[in-house]
Amino acid sequence: MPDLPTLALFAAATLALLLVPGPAVLYIVTRSVAQGRSAGLVSVLGIHLGSLVHVAAAALGISALLAASATGFTIVKYLGAAYLVWLGVRKLMTRSDGGGSFEPRIATRSRMFWEGFVVNVLNPKTAIFFLAFLPQFADPEAGPIAPQIVLLGLIWTALGMASDGAFALLASALAGRLRRSARARRRLDVTSGVVYLGLGAVAAFGGENSTVRA
């Protein structure tokens, strides 16, 4: 296993990366603003279950196969982009009733959880990021590589849940007053839809060598 100084360095590097908002943070913030603290936190759990899938894939070498296959990368990338676009279109199609009141479509917690999971799992750049980042802190002389990758991935996931949870709490606190206004809620839905569409565009047209952290 990596020694304590290596683990400390890994934790510091991980926190530095996690504090830079990426697509997953935008997704979590959007959920938190639209439906509150619990929605954001459930989305965090779903996203980081997806992170564990990528960690396992990196440890087993599946990510390496994905990175080596241009066709496989493209297929997964466009599946993820299509899913994000679908979420955006669904948000934009939400309408007020004739009396001017607004009843938002409230997603269940299980649905939010699995949406977060799917969004993260269908991001091949996340898989390649884990494949590129985690091995930098593994030491072949300290034992088998796969268990070290799993340990580093668990540390990343724990720190990611803490930082993303903080983003969710902050976003939900700032948005509490906005959700009390029907007009503001409608604007939040439109903003959410635009964010999802933007994330879908980034996923579809972003360069394959760019880094997108989960």
Q: What is the mean pLDDT of each run of 10 residues along the chain (214 residues)?
A: 85 83 80 86 94 90 70 70 76 56 60 89 78 78 84 94 93 71 63 72 58 45
Give the Cβ contact number of residue 152 at 10 Å.
27
CB atoms within 10 A of CB 55: 25
- Backbone torsion region of residue 27, taken as left when φ is above 0, otherwise alpha when ψ lies between -120 and 50, otherwise beta: alpha
CA contacts within 13 A on the Cβ side of 44: 23
SS3 content of the chain, % helix, strand, coil (to 5): 80, 0, 20
Q: Which of 208, 57, 74 is nearest to 134 (CA)?
A: 57
* Res 52: pLDDT: 94
Q: How high is the pLDDT of residue 155?
A: 95
What pLDDT, on the 0 to 100 scale, is given for residue 105?
Answer: 54
Distances 67 to 62, 63, 70 between C-alpha atoms, Å: 9, 6, 7
Identify the pLDDT of residue 97: 45
User: Considering only CA atoms, which of 184, 201, 197, 200 is closest in space to residue 34?
Assistant: 184
| 19-86-119-96 Cα dihedral, nearest 10 degrees | 60
